[in-house]
Amino acid sequence: MDWMPHNHSRSLSARLDLARASNSPSKQNISPSVIPKNVLAHANEFIPRVISSSASASPNFLNSYPVPNSATVHPLAKKLEEGDVSSHATPETTSPPLTNSPPVLHEKLGNSPALPAYQENVGGTTYFYQFQANTENRQTPAVTDNVPNTVTTEYNVYTGKHESFFLSEDIRNDILNRNVLSLLQPDPQQYPDLPHEVDSYHELFPLEPISHNNLHKAHMGYQASMYKATHIKTGTHYCLRRIHGFRLSNTKCMAFVELWKKLSHSNIVQLKEVFTTKAFGDNSMIFVYDYHPGSQTLLNKHFSPEQTGYCDPFLNDASTPRPYSYQKNNLLRHTQNNKLPESLIWNYIIQLTSALRIIHSAALACRSLDPTKIIINSQNRLRLSCLGIMDVVLQETNSTISHVALIQHYQQEDLSALGKLVLALACKSTMAVQRDNISTALDIVSRSYTPDLRNLIMYLLSTQQRRSVTDLMPMIGARFYTQLDNLHNQIESLDNELSKEVQNGRLFRLISKLATINERPDFNMESTWAETGDRYMLKLFRDYVFHQVTEEGHPWLDMAHIIQCLNKLDVGVPEKICLMSRDEQSILVVSYAELKHCLEQSFGELASTSVIHHDLSDVGVGVDDKL
């Protein structure tokens, strides 16, 4: 009888006694130089094929080789003796791969005869077997007491890396943190005046502290606050920027709002819509933007006093006057110890100039280029926020001034604001951009950074000539290619991580189909539907894949075995496996192709009568060409 892998923990001696009982009464003569080995001691569910002299096998057992009536040796060993197999392969000593490998045939040791060997891939784990000769220089293997000429082999299972199957922990944690921030709900006791709905948005959550006594006047003297909200119909999260106490009386500014809504860029927080509301108890103007959870302002990132060890070097105690030389040396010393890497500053410059270029080309101006209106994520990705607000507020207060005449002036102010921002980053101080400190700050930049950075700052701060964003490209130079290369590397890394999840999604749909069929208590008034017909084979296959055990009865959790079995089922390969019931009374030898047909037919029965059916028919489409 040809013994196949099974999925229960019958004792080794009982199985070998059963195999021996099925042999012919005639004694078998096994060559001492060719001794079949038993399967690995800790994976008893896989038993090597034992060629016996019994009668022809039952048609339910599809043997890989014909059953002879006399003593035989292993088929691979027979091929070796006939010279049909090469003799240059040696068994591997490293961890086996998780895929099927060609058989390792035999090796030669000095002048000793060729020793046949072969390997077998079971459940994603490769096992090596070798028929050892009785030579003096070979270590005698341990022979079991129950069955003569049967040995056990020590082995180590290669468990692959966790990240080889799933998303990396860094990306996973970043995504989970953003999801947590997107699902935050406000405390009604802490925010009793917060409305439940504002136009088409609900679930408002303040993104910054709300203080009715002293709100920050961020836009032309108007108080502003920011909230996270969810769209009622789509469930998408947005950021609401509220301008307190603003009444819109001139609708001409809405033309500029439409221009901002059409502006889409990777370094711009896109404006979605603008509307007025009285839900907060006053006349408020609401600007709706895309929501980027986990981002912080550039001010909190690099200029916050909450940072450990941060101190603005330009803040001096007026009560203790010191010589100018002492103050300057102190500034230089502090800047050298706490300066930002120049590559990071150029990274910010490239992103900011890219955003300004698209804004200015659309005949618009940013007008909010300061550290409080620039947000940054964990990957140093900058985005300009609060765009379009100043156009609406200014259009209301200066309706008699031509917007076309002002836009060129505001574009020049954008470049000046960019120069001040870069200077503040280089000195790591917001006080460095004050008129009294600019000369000292430029001297610090000259001593701490390359001349290219100083020349760019000088060009942006100059007012003698008309400036343009396109003039900054020669100053950036080859650093642009470094930025482009870093972005491509990041995209490639994310693409590799995404490829893992594509396969995981395919396997999840396959497992979902299996789970809806297995152990179903009732279907079409049939209480035993899941236990009969094709569903019974799927139940045994479920045990074969997920319920393997070792010889001691411990669970055998091999992720490679699970993935390999599911992939073969998805493709429908003709490989046959042996399925055994838990009571060991039923044994089925089926192929993955037959199991796939059973799965599709059984799931089709469920889907035909289901009220809600999500299409899972794309499982396995085109997989045969990819695997």
User: DSSP assignment of 429-472, as one string?
Assistant: -GGGGSTTTHHHHHHHHHHHS-HHHHHHHHHHH--SS---GGGG
- d(CA 426, CA 413) in angstroms, rounded, equals 20
Do the beta carbons of residue 60 and residue 587 sit within 8 Å?
Answer: yes
Binding residues for ATP: 241, 290-297, 372-373
Q: Would you call 503 exposed, middle or buried from its count of C-beta atoms within 10 A (0-12, 13-18, 19+)?
A: middle
Do the beta carbons of residue 141 and residue 151 sit within 8 Å?
Answer: yes
Do the beta carbons of residue 11 and residue 518 sit within 8 Å?
Answer: no
Of 356, 375, 374, which Cα lies nearest the Cα of 366? 356
- d(CA 408, CA 394) in angstroms, rounded, equals 15
Of 394, 176, 417, 416, which Cα lies nearest the Cα of 298? 417
- d(CA 417, CA 571) in angstroms, rounded, equals 60
Of 627, 555, 623, 568, which Cα lies nearest the Cα of 594? 568
- d(CA 205, CA 236) in angstroms, rounded, equals 14
- For the chain, the first-to-last Cα distance in angstroms comes to 33
- d(CA 460, CA 33) in angstroms, rounded, equals 87
- d(CA 537, CA 524) in angstroms, rounded, equals 20
Instruction: Describe the chain by its helix, strand, coil percentages, rounded to 5.
Output: 40, 15, 50
Q: For residue 228, give the 3-state DSSP assignment.
A: strand
- d(CA 385, CA 295) in angstroms, rounded, equals 11
- Pull the structure tokens for residue 202: 């609900």
- d(CA 402, CA 408) in angstroms, rounded, equals 11
Cα dist. 299→304, 376, 425, 521, 535 in Å?
6, 10, 10, 60, 62
- d(CA 344, CA 354) in angstroms, rounded, equals 15
Binding residues: 241, 290-297, 372-373
Which residue type does 85 have? Answer: V
Torsion sign over Cα 20, 21, 24, 27: positive
Which residue type does 117 have? Answer: A
- d(CA 74, CA 57) in angstroms, rounded, equals 17
